């Protein structure tokens, strides 16, 4: 029986060339797997036909938009996940869902190997291969671009010699990866970190400097899940899509950052994530209202580690599973409404309300109706500072200032 290789297929030059190259070099049949994560662009049926025309024995196209939103983007939202306090894990979140579909396709088609088109410099090689190792440890992995030093020029020659049905002449100055959670842009003139990005780089967001009217939006959450926009019920996917449109029109969610890649190098990345940034901003503020102080403080530590694990390709890991359980528990009372003004590149919260709020007006007010017993404060302050006071006395006795 002929061996089969399941290939993560994007429809671009490298993965289209990989179909025929794998078949020629290994003698294996190639099954192409394309996953719709809300990235837009070409229709998946077009991509499926291209894979078959390039020599795939079968092509699987999966509409995973709702799955991605509910099982991957939502946990990231509830974790307020921002790698290096800024990056909302646009590409990192998409890799485990693609890996899941690759593993399922490999099992269904009896494949022994999974292939991807990642280079040796990026994070994605780790995310794909570690994910496959966790879900299907018996599968082998093939990475033609990385392991056989492919260049774009070599791929173009290979495609032209075999008359592959792909446009090999049009070359974007950027490398772009996108899905419904956001868009990542790198390479080209952006590799000089002194060069400012130009408007041509952006697609999900309008120029925040252009004059426009502000947009006020109310987002309703139920146990950490966005369930309505301006009172209209939405799915998680619809919430992201609507805020991509509305926040994107206000130029919200643009990031220009130098980040620490897992492989040890620094990389300059341009991100657009209007829906993700708007939702995380709203969710964080609702947690400020509904989470008890120590739980909130500890959750911020969990959030940072959760984001690092996902960025580093460890979605399918025991530690992330354990942190997921904590985050899920923390969302028990994160219900209510957040009102935000979207304008000039910023999402600014200006209203909060929740039946599970821990904000007590009568305790917080300085006006009539104040229910806070200030006579208790003096003893509290004295006891709170007692350890520091005792230590300070010791230091003075020992001659330390």
Number of helices (H), then strands (E), in the chain: 15, 14
Q: 123 labelled as ligand-binding?
A: yes
| 235 has binding-site annotation | no
According to the annotation, is 357 in a ligand binding site?
A: no
10 in a known ligand binding site? yes
Token reading at 51: 């894979």
Does 147 count as an annotated binding residue? no
Residue pair 327/78 in contact (Cβ under 8 Å)? The answer is: yes
The answer to the question of whether 191 is labelled as a binding residue is no
Judge whether 172 is annotated as a binding position.
no
Marked catalytic residue, from 146, 175, 256, 354: 175
Q: Is 175 within 8 Å of 185 (Cβ atoms)? A: yes
How far is it, in rounded angstroms, from Cα 207 to Cα 201?
Answer: 11
Beta strands in 133-214 (DSSP E): 140-142, 175-179, 182-186
Half-sphere exposure of 375 (CA within 13 A, CB side): 0
388 appears as a binding residue in the annotation: no
Residue 15 annotated as part of some ligand binding site: yes
Report how far residue 376's alpha carbon sits from residue 387's, in angstroms, rounded to the nearest whole number.
19
Give the number of other CB atoms < 10 A from CB of residue 42: 13
50 is in an annotated binding site: no
Binding residue per annotation — 119? yes
80 is known to lie in a ligand binding site: no
- Clarify whether 95 is annotated catalytic: yes
For residue 12, say whether it is annotated as part of any ligand binding site: yes
Tokens of 232: 């209209």
Is 112 known to sit in a ligand binding site?
no
Of 50, 65, 124, 352, which residue is the catalytic one?
124
Residue labelled with tokens 């049009």 = 170
Closest CA to 287 of 327, 231, 342, 324: 327
8 marked as binding residue: yes
Which one of 4, 14, 94, 352 is the catalytic residue?
Answer: 14
What's the N-to-C CA distance of the chain in angstroms? 81
**Cβ-Cβ contacts under 8 Å for 397 (sequence gap 6 or more):** none
Residue in 4, 48, 95, 352 annotated catalytic: 95
175 is an active site residue: yes
- 311 is known to lie in a ligand binding site: no
User: Does residue 328 have a known ligand-binding role?
Assistant: no
Q: 223: which 2 tokens? A: 């146990």
**Strand ranges inside 311-365, DSSP E:** 336-343, 346-353
The radius of gyration computed from the CA coordinates of the chain, to the nearest angstrom, equals 25
Residue 120 marked as a ligand binder: no
Q: Could you give the count of Cα atoms lying within 13 Å of 192 in the half-sphere of its Cβ?
A: 5
* Residues that constitute the known binding site for L-citrulline: 87, 123, 127, 175, 259, 271
Active site residues: 14, 95, 124, 175
Q: Which positions make up the binding site for ATP?
A: 8-16, 117
Q: Which residues are annotated as a binding site?
A: 8-16, 87, 117, 119, 123-124, 127, 175, 259, 271
Annotated binding site for L-aspartate: 119, 123-124
């Amino acid at each position: 029986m002929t061996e089969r290789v399941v290939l993560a297929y994007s429809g671009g030059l490298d993965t289209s060339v990989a179909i025929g190259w794998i078949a020629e070099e290994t003698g294996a049949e190639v099954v192409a797997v394309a996953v719709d994560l809300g990235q837009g662009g070409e229709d998946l049926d077009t991509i499926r036909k291209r894979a078959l025309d390039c020599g795939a024995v079968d092509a699987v196209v999966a509409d995973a938009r709702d799955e991605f939103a509910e099982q991957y983007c939502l946990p990231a939202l509830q974790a307020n996940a921002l790698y290096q306090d800024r990056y909302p894990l646009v590409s990192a979140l998409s890799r485990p869902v693609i890996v899941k579909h690759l593993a399922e396709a490999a099992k269904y088609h009896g494949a022994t190997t999974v292939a991807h088109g990642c280079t040796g410099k990026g994070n994605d090689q780790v995310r794909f291969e570690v994910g496959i190792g966790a879900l299907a440890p018996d599968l082998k992995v093939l990475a033609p671009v990385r392991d056989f030093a492919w260049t774009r020029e070599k791929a173009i020659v290979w495609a032209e010699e075999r008359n592959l049905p792909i446009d090999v002449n049009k070359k974007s100055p950027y490398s772009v990866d996108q899905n419904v959670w956001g868009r990542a842009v790198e390479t080209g003139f952006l590799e000089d970190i002194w060069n400012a990005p130009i408007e041509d780089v952006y697609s999900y967001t309008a120029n925040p400097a252009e004059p426009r009217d502000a947009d006020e939006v109310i987002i309703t959450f139920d146990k950490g899940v966005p369930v309505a926009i301006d009172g209209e019920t939405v799915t998680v996917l619809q919430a992201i899509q609507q805020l991509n449109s509305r926040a994107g029109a206000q130029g919200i969610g643009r990031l220009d950052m130098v980040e620490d890649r897992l492989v040890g190098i620094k990389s300059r990345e341009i991100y657009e994530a209007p829906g993700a940034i708007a939702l995380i901003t709203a969710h964080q503020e609702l947690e400020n209202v509904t989470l008890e102080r120590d739980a909130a403080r500890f959750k911020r530590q969990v959030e940072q580690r959760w984001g690092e694990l996902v960025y580093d390709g460890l979605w399918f890991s025991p530690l992330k599973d354990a942190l997921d359980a904590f985050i899920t528990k923390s969302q028990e009372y994160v219900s209510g409404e957040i009102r935000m003004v979207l304008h000039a590149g910023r999402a600014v919260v200006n209203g909060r309300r929740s039946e599970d709020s821990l904000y007590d007006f009568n305790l917080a007010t300085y006006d009539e109706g104040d229910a806070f017993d200030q006579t208790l404060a003096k003893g509290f302050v004295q006891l709170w500072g007692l350890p520091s006071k005792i230590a300070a006395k010791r230091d003075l006795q020992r001659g330390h200032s």
